[in-house]
C-alpha cells in the first residue's frame, strides 16, 4: 500500500502546478473542513490527527 | 502513517468506480464543491501527527513527515457562514435549499461555482426544475470569468463544452475500468448518470460527420401534445473568446411513458440560422436492447458561429421519437418542436 502511495506522490509532485488554496495553512493546523466520504458519511479532516497523514488531492476526470 | 484521498468530482459514483478499479483502500472524501479551494490537481499534502500542515510533499520531506512533530497546536474550528449553510444543505442532499442559499448570498466567484454544482446535481435528480442544466453552466461561467486561472472550475465547463477545448478524454477510463473489474469477477459500481457525448471525447476524437436526411420535413408526424418526453437543452459556449464554438447537449427524459425500442429511434433535427454552421452532429440515439426502457437519453451537436458573435440567439429544432404509454401498451411515433437557446457569451 505504501509503495502505491509513494509512487502517486512522486508522480504528482513533478506534474503539480503551484499550490494554492488548501495549502495556504502551511505550518498551521489543518483547516476544520467537513466533507462526505465515498460511503456517504461525513468526516472532518481535523479529526484525522494523531498519526502522520498524507492527503492526496486528485480527480477522477 | 495514514493516507486519505480527496477527489474533485461532480459525481461521487464515478469516483467510487475509479476507487473500485484501482482498488484504493484508503478513505476517500468527495469535494464536489471545492471546499478546499484548490485550483488544480493532483496535490499531495503532508500533515504532521499534531495536525500541522507540513506542505506539499516532496521526497526529502518524507523523513520529516514520518517524524512526529513536537508542536501541539489545537485544531482550528470553523465558523459557519452563509456560504457554509449552502454547503451543509448540499451535503445533506437538500438541493433546493442549497440552490436557494447560494443564490441568497453574495455572488462571489466561489458562490457561483457552488451554485453551479448544486444546480447540476439538482438537474440530474428527481427534483430537477426546468432550466437547471443551463443555469449550472452559466453559474460556472460566471465563476470562471471572475477567476480564469481556476482549473478545477474550468474543467466543469470543459466536461460538457466544445470537443476541441477538451485537454483529454475525461471519462475514457470508464470502459477500461469496467472491463478490468469484470475480469476480476466483480460487478462494477453502477453510475446514476452515464457519461455521454463530449464527456467521452477529446481533440483527437474523430466526430461522427454522417449527414442524415432530415426526417418529416413537411411536419406530418403527429405532435406530442401530452409532452410525454421532457426536453432540455444545455449550451456550453467556448471558454476561449478566440473560438467560436458552442456545444449543445439535448437531454430527453420520458415522463409517464417508455421508449419504444422496436420502432424508429429518437432523432433530433436542427435548422441553424444563416452564418452558423452545424458541426459534429450526434443526432440519432441508438436503441436499447429491451423492447421498452426509460433511460435518460442525450444527443449532442456543435455549432460554429461568426467571429464577434457574442449575443444570444435561437436555433429551431424538433425531435422525433417512438414511445409507449405503458409496457406493452399503445405505442406512438411523435414529434416535438422546440428551440435551442444559445445564451450570450
Compare CB distances from B35 to A17, A25, A33 and report the shortest one's residue: A33
Architecture of domain B209-342: Sandwich (2.60)
Average pLDDT of chain B is 87
Tens of pLDDT, residue by residue over B67-87, are: 433 333 333 334 456 677 888
pTM over 0.90: no
Whether B193 and chain A come into contact, CB under 8 Å, resolves to no
Residue B147 has pLDDT above 70, yes or no: yes
Mean pLDDT of the region B213-234 = 92
Pure H helices in chain B: 12-22, 62-66, 82-92, 95-104, 109-123, 132-146, 151-160, 173-183
Looking at residue B81, what is its pLDDT?
63
Q: How far apart are CA B32 and CA B91, in angstroms?
A: 10
Do the Cβ atoms of A20 and B39 come within 8 Å? yes
Tell me the chain A residues in contact with residue B78 when contact means C-beta distances shorter than 8 Å.
Answer: 31-34
Q: Any idea which of A25-39, B95-109, B226-240, B275-289 has the lowest mean pLDDT? A: A25-39
Q: Please enumerate in sequence order all residues whose Cβ is within 8 A of that of B117, keeping only pairs 6 or more positions apart, or say none.
A: B10, B32, B33, B90, B136, B156
CATH 2.60.40 location in chain B = 209-342
B313 neighbors B246 (Cβ within 8 angstroms): no
ipTM: 0.72
Instruction: Find residue B151's DSSP bridge partners.
Output: none
Largest CA distance in chain A: 33
Compare CB distances from A59 to B9, B39, B55 and report the shortest one's residue: B9
Whether B35 and chain A come into contact, CB under 8 Å, resolves to yes
Q: Any idea which of B71-80, B159-168, B264-273, B306-315 has the lowest mean pLDDT? A: B71-80
Residue B60 has pLDDT above 90, yes or no: no
Amino acid at each position: 500500500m505504501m509503495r502505491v502511495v509513494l509512487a502517486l506522490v512522486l508522480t504528482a509532485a513533478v506534474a503539480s502546478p503551484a499550490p494554492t488554496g488548501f495549502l495556504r495553512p502551511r505550518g498551521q493546523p489543518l483547516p476544520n473542513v467537513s466533507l462526505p466520504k465515498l460511503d456517504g458519511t461525513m468526516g472532518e479532516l481535523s479529526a484525522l490527527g494523531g498519526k502522520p497523514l498524507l492527503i492526496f488531492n486528485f480527480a477522477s476526470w | 502513517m495514514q493516507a486519505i484521498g480527496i477527489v474533485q468530482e461532480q459525481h461521487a459514483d464515478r469516483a467510487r468506480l475509479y476507487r473500485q478499479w484501482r482498488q484504493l483502500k484508503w478513505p476517500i472524501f468527495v469535494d464536489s464543491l471545492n471546499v478546499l479551494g484548490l485550483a488544480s490537481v493532483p496535490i499531495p499534502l503532508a500533515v504532521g501527527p499534531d495536525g500541522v500542515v507540513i506542505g506539499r510533499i516532496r521526497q526529502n520531506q518524507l523523513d520529516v513527515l514520518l517524524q512526529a512533530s513536537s508542536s501541539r497546536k489545537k485544531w482550528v474550528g470553523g465558523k459557519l457562514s452563509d456560504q457554509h449553510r449552502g454547503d451543509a444543505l448540499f451535503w445533506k442532499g437538500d438541493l433546493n435549499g442549497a440552490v436557494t442559499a447560494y443564490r441568497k448570498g453574495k455572488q462571489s466567484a466561489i458562490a457561483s461555482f457552488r451554485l453551479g454544482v448544486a444546480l447540476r446535481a439538482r438537474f440530474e435528480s428527481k427534483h430537477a426544475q426546468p432550466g437547471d442544466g443551463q443555469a449550472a453552466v452559466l453559474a460556472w461561467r460566471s465563476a470562471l470569468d471572475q477567476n480564469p486561472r481556476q482549473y478545477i472550475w474550468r474543467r466543469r465547463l470543459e466536461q460538457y463544452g466544445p470537443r476541441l477545448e477538451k485537454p483529454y478524454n475525461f471519462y475514457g477510463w470508464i470502459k477500461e475500468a469496467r472491463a478490468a473489474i469484470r475480469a476480476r469477477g466483480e460487478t462494477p459500481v453502477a453510475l446514476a448518470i452515464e457519461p455521454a457525448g463530449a464527456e467521452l471525447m477529446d481533440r483527437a476524437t474523430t466526430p461522427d460527420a454522417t449527414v442524415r436526411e432530415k426526417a418529416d420535413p413537411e411536419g406530418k408526424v403527429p405532435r406530442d401534445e401530452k409532452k410525454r418526453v421532457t426536453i432540455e437543452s444545455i449550451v456550453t459556449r467556448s471558454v476561449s473568446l478566440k473560438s467560436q464554438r458552442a456545444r449543445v447537449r439535448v437531454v430527453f427524459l420520458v415522463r409517464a411513458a417508455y421508449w419504444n425500442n422496436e420502432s424508429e429511434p429518437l432523432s433530433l433535427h436542427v435548422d441553424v440560422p444563416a452564418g452558423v454552421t452545424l458541426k459534429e452532429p450526434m443526432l440519432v440515439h441508438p436503441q436499447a436492447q429491451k423492447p421498452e426502457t426509460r433511460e435518460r437519453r442525450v444527443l449532442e451537436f456543435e455549432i460554429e458561429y461568426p467571429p464577434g458573435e457574442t449575443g444570444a440567439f435561437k436555433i429551431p429544432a424538433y425531435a422525433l421519437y417512438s414511445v409507449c404509454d405503458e409496457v406493452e401498451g399503445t405505442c406512438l411515433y411523435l414529434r416535438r418542436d422546440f428551440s435551442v437557446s444559445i445564451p450570450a457569451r
